[in-house]
Each structure stands twice: as structure tokens, then as C-alpha cells.
Amino acid sequence: MKMPVYLLAALPLTLALIAFTLSKPWSVRQFVATQQPLLQPPPLPAPPDCPDSGREDIGFIPEYAGWRFERPLSQIAVATTTSVELHVLLLWIYYHRRLGVDTFYIFVEGELESPEKRSILRSIPGVKVNSRTMKLREKQLKSPIWKGNWLLDYQYKPCNYQKYVRQALNLEAATYVARRAGMKWILHLSVDELIHPGGETHDSLASTLQGFNESVDLVVFPHYESVVESDSVQDPFTDVTLFKRSPSHITKRDYRQVFDQVSHNNSLYFLSQADGRIAARLQPGLHPSGPNRWSNAFKALRDVAADEAVVLHYTYTKFSDLTAMRSLCDECQAVPKLARRCFLNEFDSAAFIAAKTLSDEGLFQWYKDHVVWQNKTLVHKLVQRSILVRNHIPQIIIQGLREVGFFQEMIEAGSQAFEDSQMIEKLELKEMVRLGQEAGKFKLEMASLRFSKRRQGKVVERQNRSDLEDQLDDQRQSGASTHHPARRQSSPGLQLNSTTVIPSSSEQRNLPFALVTSAHPVQNGRRRLLASIRPWFQSSFFHGCCTSFRSLEAKVQSSLGHFMTLFW
């Protein structure tokens, strides 16, 4: 069968018309694009609270059961373990909130564990507060980090090593919860560290992380350490503006040439850590290998260093930071070899020995020699060579936050809210005590009512006994000619006089049942039982059973006697 000629001619024309239509801006493709939202599935509802969701994986940390897992905007989370003062922590939180961090997982220690301060922190949206409770410790002892071989060198050492382990375990918990909450990035910071997303016009950490493609798993922020120019620093975030650049941001030649000058009478380039901080993209299998290291059980992680974004570390900026070490690590001795076992960093152990052994004047002089940069000429020279760099952005942001007066108002409002909650709890407790007292009075009244009814019942029972005695006397007098008087008996339930005679069993059968049972209260149940089983004993079936049993017993005895006779 041949195809008609007009179909063969219409086929190429139809294909050409379709191609022409799809190539125009007013084509069907534009119409489908405008109608695309109608083809998409409806948005998912907001996840419910943890207690109502019933998901077992949320139960890793019972303390987080009340957290609401909403979808944040930038989906960036920061975790920290701290015991600093409340106003310092609030400045740190709102500085990073200004950079685009949505959620903060804060593990509080020391004075921050007080209910008032925790209530103030929990009143801030996006701040999740948790203290190191016994349940959390038990859960963390079962974590892969605690069982890992790499942690064996830190688990059973004192002071800074214990803090290192706590930070790693808390970061693991925060990573787990952040991934369940839908976060994309997580970063561990100390409260004396501030992220500076350099190169961004709006100082946004979110835009910095969004600049990396999906193949990047880790973003490394180099470390910039504070340079203290005065021994009277009160607020590090605003008084310190000079920083020592990371060795990765200077040439190796400059590093070798200026090392002796930059180390500032110390053995290392930085006073404290020099690893920087790493932001990790949340994914299956991701877990921390320490406070600043990450690994994945399923693949090798790809890390990229940020070009201009850095971490500003404000270390030993105040003299009080040095004197505070006198109250730390009581189990450590101020001897170089023994103190080195308590601290990860060499300068920390040297500062600990100085704080324990020197007087206030000597310790202050040691602080100026090893921490404070008093040589302005050297500072100017190193700034010109770009070894030291000035950064005023954190100072401007924090000063702006303080000028608003928001933090003091927040602390006062949080304290007032905590006092109100305490007052409400006291009132509720008083109301519960009052209700308990009323319930106790009601129970007492009911018990007294039952006791009075019981006494009335006993009075009625005594009256019934006296009536029974009178009836028994009448029966005895009327039937004295036909019945033999029984022996006089006395019982706990019925006191009989010398003229009272207990009726015989045949007489008791003729009496009403109530009178017979009430004659002796102790034997009422026994008499009822005998009255109920008496017909069965009088039945022919019982007599037949007894006869059969006697005959069987006689046969057994005869057989046994016959057997014994044969045996002997």
C-alpha cells in the first residue's frame, strides 16, 4: 500500500512549521515557562517539632527535643563551646548574624549554665543552647569520635586536651542536628574569633560560600592573629585593629626574613593555633575529626582555601586573660616538662608557668615583653611590608551594635522575663500546694465519714445482738419443757449471762438465717460455708462415692496382704 502524495508533501511542511514556532519568543516554550509553577508540586509543609515527629534519629541528643527545624535563608550554622561573659557572647552572636549566619549551636559551660543566662540566649531566634548534662555525656561516650584511634592521645590528658575533646564531641552533635535541620554549611569557631569575609561588598559570609561550586566540600579560612599595641585593652573587638597575616598570604622569602621580628620574643610565628578554620558542606557520612578537621567515610573531601575571607583571632588581648590562667588546671604543675602535657600549644604552657610562678608586677612585665608590641617603628615597617595589616570592619560593626543599645535592653528584658517566669512558677507551686491541701482535707473528711458510718454500723450490730439475746431467752423459756439446757458458753462476739442458753442445731435451723448468722460474727463465714455445702454432703452421690472409696480401700488392703504373704 502506497502512502498518498499529499501526505508526503505535508510532512516536511509540518516539521518546518514546528521548528519555526519553537524558535520564536512568543512560542509555546514561553507559554510553558510562564505556566511552570502550575506544574511543580506544592511546597512541603514546615517540619514539625521534634517531640511530635517521632523520628528516632533526632533522639541522639535528648536535650535538643524542643528545637524547631525550620528552613533558614542562608543555611549556615556555627558551633561553639564557651564559658565567656554574656555580653561578649551576645556581641559575637550578632556580629556573625550580621554576616548571614542563621543558626548557632552553643554549648555553654561555667557561669553561662545558669538558668537566667540560658533563658536570655534561648530568647534569640536561631540560637540553640545546650549544657553538658549527664545524658549528653553518656551519648557522646558512644560516638564514633570517642571510639576513634586518633583521639587516644587526647582523651586522658588534663586541661586543654579535655577542652579539645569536648569541642570535638560537641561539634559532632551540632553537625548531626544541623544536617537534620536542612543546613548546608557548618563552621566551628571560638568566641575569641571573628569571621571577616574580605572582598565581599556587603561583608556576607553567605555570598562567600555560595561562590564555590558543588564539588567543593571544605572551605579553609586562613588565620589572622591579633597584634596587641596597648597593655590597657578593655574591649578586644573594638580596641584591637592590627593583625598578623597568615603565612599562606605572604611569600616564603618574607616569612624567613621577618620571622625573628614577627615572633616577638617567642618561639613560634603565632602565639596560638595557626591552622585557620574550615567550613564544611553538610553531606552524608560527614563527621569531624577534631574541632577543626573533617572527614567522610564515603569519599575523599575536596578542600579549597578562601582568597580573601579570613578568621580574626583575638588571643591574649587583655592582661586579665593571662591572670585567669592561675585558676586553671589545678592538676598541672608549673614545670616546663609537666606543663607541656597539659597544653596543646607551647606558648600556652609558657604563659601558664609565668602566671603560676610570677607576681603581679613580674607577670605584667612578662606580658608586655611577649605579647604587647611597644615598638611603633617596627610595627610601621611590618605594615609597609604587608606582614601586618589593619582591619577596622569588625570594630565598626560592633561599635554600631553597641551604640544602638540593643544588648543591654536584651539582657534587661531577658532578666525580667526570667524573673516573671520564676514568679509564675512560684505562683503555680503555691496553687499546687493549696490544691494538695484541699485534696488532703477532702480525703480526711471522707475518712472521718467512713469512720462514723463504721461506728454507726457497730452500734446497730450491738443492738441486733441484744435483740437476738432477747429472742433466744424467749425461745428457751417457751421450750424449756422439751429441750435440755445447753452449757453456758461465752464468746468474743456474744456475751451471755447465767440464764442464757445456746439453742441446739435443730433449733437454729428453725430460726431465721439472719438471726443465726448474727449470733457470732466471727463464725458467720464458716456457717455460711457449712450451710452451702451441707446439701452436697447429704446427697446420695456423696454417699455413693464414700461407699466406692471404702470398697476400693478394702480391695487394696487385701491385695497388699496377699502380696506380702506370697513374698515372705
- Overall average pLDDT of the 500-519 stretch: 47
Return d(Cα 509, Cα 519) in angstroms, integer.
Answer: 13
> In this predicted model, what pLDDT tens digit does every residue of 333-367 receive, in sequence order?
888 888 888 888 889 999 999 999 999 999 999 99
Residue 500: pLDDT band with limits 50, 70, 90: very low
Query: Taking 50 as the threshold, does the pLDDT of residue 53 lie above it?
Result: no
- H or E element at residue 91: helix 86-99
Residue 5: pLDDT band with limits 50, 70, 90: low
Closest among 221, 168, 175, 220 to 195, alpha carbons compared: 221
Return the minimum-mean-pLDDT range out of 280-289, 511-520, 540-549: 511-520
Other Cβ atoms less than 10 A from the Cβ of 235: the count is 17
Residue length, the chain?
568
Return the minimum-mean-pLDDT range out of 186-195, 397-406, 481-490: 481-490
Hey, what CATH topology would domain 76-317+374-404 get? Spore Coat Polysaccharide Biosynthesis Protein SpsA; Chain A (3.90.550)
Its pTM stands at 0.63
Look over the chain and give the mean of its residue pLDDT values, rounded to a whole number: 75
- The answer to whether 105 and 174 have CB atoms below 8 angstroms apart is yes
Q: Where are the domains of the chain?
A: 76-317+374-404
Outline where 340-375 has alpha helix (H): 346-357, 360-370
**Per-residue pLDDT, 56:** 33
Torsion sign over Cα 82, 86, 91, 95: positive
What phi, psi does 69 have (nearest 5°)? Answer: -90, 85
> In this predicted model, what pLDDT tens digit does every residue of 376-400 receive, in sequence order?
999 999 999 999 999 998 999 888 8
**Per-residue pLDDT, 134:** 76
> In this predicted model, what pLDDT tens digit does every residue of 77-107 receive, in sequence order?
999 999 999 889 999 999 999 898 999 999 9
**Per-residue pLDDT, 536:** 65
- Overall average pLDDT of the 484-505 stretch: 44
What phi, psi does 477 have (nearest 5°)? Answer: -70, -35
Hey, what's the cell of 151? 583521639
What phi, psi does 23 have (nearest 5°)? Answer: -85, -5
